[in-house]
Amino acid sequence: MTYRLIFDRLLTRTDPERAHHRAFRAIRAAAPATRPVLRRRADGEPVEAMGLRFPNRLGLAAGFDKNAVGIDALAALGFGHVEVGTVTGEAQPGNPTPRLFRLPADRAVVNRMGFNNDGAELVARRLGARAEALARRGRSGPVLGVNIGKTKVVPEEEAVRDYEKSAGLLAPYADYLVVNVSSPNTPGLRDLQAVEKLEPLLTAVRRRADATVTEHRVPLLVKIAPDLSDEDVLAVADLARAVGLDGIIATNTTISRAGLATPVAEVERIGAGGLSGAPVRERALEVLRLLAGRVGDDLTLVGVGGITTVEDARARIEAGATLVQGYTAFVYEGPLWPSRIARGLGTGVRVGA
183 is catalytic: yes
> Would you say 180 is a known binding-site residue?
yes
> Would you say 66 is a known binding-site residue?
yes
> Would you say 308 is a known binding-site residue?
no
> Would you say 95 is a known binding-site residue?
no
> Would you say 116 is a known binding-site residue?
no
> Would you say 244 is a known binding-site residue?
no
> Would you say 23 is a known binding-site residue?
no
- SS3 labels along the chain: CHHHHHHHHCHHHCCHHHHHHHHHHHHHHHHHHHHHHHHHHCCCCCEEECCEEECCCEEECCCCCCCCCCHHHHHCCCCCEEEEEEEECCCECCCCCCCEEEEHHHCEEEECCCCCECCHHHHHHHHHHHHHHHHHCCCCCCEEEEEEECCCCCCHHHHHHHHHHHHHHHHHHCCEEEEECCCCCCCCHHHHHCHHHHHHHHHHHHHHHHHHCCCCCCCEEEEECCCCCHHHHHHHHHHHHHCCCCEEEECCCECCCCCCCCCHHHHHHHCCCEEEEHHHHHHHHHHHHHHHHHHCCCCEEEEECCCCCHHHHHHHHHHCCCEEEECHHHHHHCCCHHHHHHHHHHHCCCCCC
> Would you say 273 is a known binding-site residue?
no
> Would you say 147 is a known binding-site residue?
yes
Looking at 166, 183, 276, 339, which residue is catalytic? 183
> Would you say 212 is a known binding-site residue?
no
> Would you say 101 is a known binding-site residue?
no
> Would you say 327 is a known binding-site residue?
yes
> Would you say 86 is a known binding-site residue?
yes
Residues annotated within the binding site are 62-66, 86, 111-115, 147, 180, 185, 223, 251-253, 277, 306, 327-328
Residues annotated within the binding site for FMN are 62-66, 86, 147, 180, 223, 251, 277, 306, 327-328
Residues annotated within the binding site for substrate are 66, 111-115, 180, 185, 252-253
Which sequence positions are flagged as catalytic? 183
